[in-house]
Amino acid sequence: MIDSPQPSPDTRDGAGDRAYSVQILTSLADPILTALSENKLKSTIPGNHIRQHNVPMEAFCRLIGGMAPWLELPPDESTEGKLRAHYIALAVESIANAVDPDGPDFMPFDANGGHGQPLVEGAYLALAVLRAPRQLWGNLSESQKQNLILALKSTRSVEAPLCNWLLFSASVEAALWMLTGECEIAPVEKAVTMHLQWYKGDGVYGDGPQFHWDYYNSYVIQPMLLAVLRVCEEKQHPLASHLPLALERAQRYAVIQERFISPEGTYPVIGRSSTYRFAAFQTLADLALTHQLPAGLEPAVVRSALTAVIRRVMDAPGTFDVSGWLQPGAVGHQPSLRERYISTGSPYICTAGLLQLGLPPDDAFWTGGDRAWTQKRIWAGLDEPADHDIPN
């Protein structure tokens, strides 16, 4: 096993925050990627869920969707670079095994069992490939690439309902577009058009026609909408004309997200899927990763705030079971927070709150010292500018 960087628990600078975040990411990844790279994930992952056959798929696809930006950084001779090389190899082997129709850990992404969950997970796998085209797609063999393409195409057997699920279909097609040069454009057009109609104002979309107080604007809607529109821009499709507006709205939502973080690193636990933990901040992390944070949000401030949340969440007793598997809960083990659809694999979407690890260690995000974020400054009595909404 490759040694990981060892942060001091008292370190509050960029290097310490990064070392801590890498340690959390690899702790989440170890049981999944080690097992799947050996074709043993189905036989080892715990749980007794109503859709247990999809649990390994949920764990892997959600993990890799958030881990991908870190994997995309090239390996180097640093301790972290060698560690990353180790996990790139595990991730590539894991993808190959997951889409090998003759393998024991094959994951069917079609509408098996009469429900659509494979489309959800296929979308997170698609997002991973979009986020790490060199290290994930580029290191697959030609036959493995064809298996992945077939797996993604098989999600087309699932008809997405009129809610955030439209973006799952669109994300799969966007990945296929980038990988093969071809896609079914209708699901992309439908997802973008409907979400523009569902916009509620001040940086927030409805999940379908209705507004819900939860974090699905961050779990799914804003990051996937941006990802799809970025592919449209790459492909010079007319839908790309909506990207500036979608980005403006995402930047407003990022401001709101940063303001949700209390001086103590807590945030409101509200709405569906609270056990997804700090995936609640995927939109903020995504804009940090792409250097698109709104004016007024200093990268080091965002890093300090996000790391405070991650520490508060992941250092809680009971977060992992004795075998190292993530347990349901927002802070530690809280099984009563789990909805019926939450399985052992579902909470691994929390890696979406670690997208910032795709920024290299010498990026300004990591090189600044510890910074006080908005609520920390306000509750310290500092005089802060007033917050303002954006026009619809």
**Blockwise average pLDDT, block size 10, the chain, 392 residues:** 51 89 98 98 84 90 98 96 98 98 96 81 98 98 98 96 97 98 98 98 96 97 98 98 98 98 98 97 98 97 98 97 95 95 95 98 96 98 95 79
Can you give the pLDDT at residue 3?
Answer: 57
The C-alpha atoms of residue 135 and residue 359 are separated, in whole angstroms, by: 15
Structural domain harbouring 238? 25-378
The total of structural domains in the chain comes to 1
Residue 263 sits in a domain of what CATH number? 1.50.10
The C-alpha atoms of residue 314 and residue 22 are separated, in whole angstroms, by: 13
The C-alpha atoms of residue 84 and residue 82 are separated, in whole angstroms, by: 5
Q: Tell me, yes or no, whether 59 lies in a domain.
A: yes
Can you give the pLDDT at residue 86?
Answer: 98
Q: Tell me, yes or no, whether 11 lies in a domain.
A: no
Helical packing angle, 299-314 and 14-37, nearest 10°: 50
Can you give the pLDDT at residue 49?
Answer: 67
Can you give the pLDDT at residue 210?
Answer: 92
Distances (CA, A) of 235 to 169, 172, 191: 18, 15, 17
Rg of the chain over Cα atoms, rounded to whole angstroms, equals 20
Residues 6+ apart with CB under 8 A from 245: none
Q: Tell me, yes or no, whether 14 lies in a domain.
A: no
- Give the type of residue at 269: V
Q: Tell me, yes or no, whether 12 lies in a domain.
A: no
Q: Tell me, yes or no, whether 265 lies in a domain.
A: yes
Asked if 276 and 346 touch (Cβ cutoff 8 Å), the reply is: yes
Residues 6+ apart with CB under 8 A from 323: 31, 46
- 20: nearest Cα among 247, 315, 221: 315
The C-alpha atoms of residue 368 and residue 350 are separated, in whole angstroms, by: 25
- Give the type of residue at 125: L
Structure-token pair, residue 190: 């439908």
- 364: nearest Cα among 288, 300, 312: 300
- 315: nearest Cα among 303, 332, 290: 332
Q: Tell me, yes or no, whether 130 lies in a domain.
A: yes
Q: Tell me, yes or no, whether 16 lies in a domain.
A: no
Answer yes or no: pTM beyond 0.85.
yes
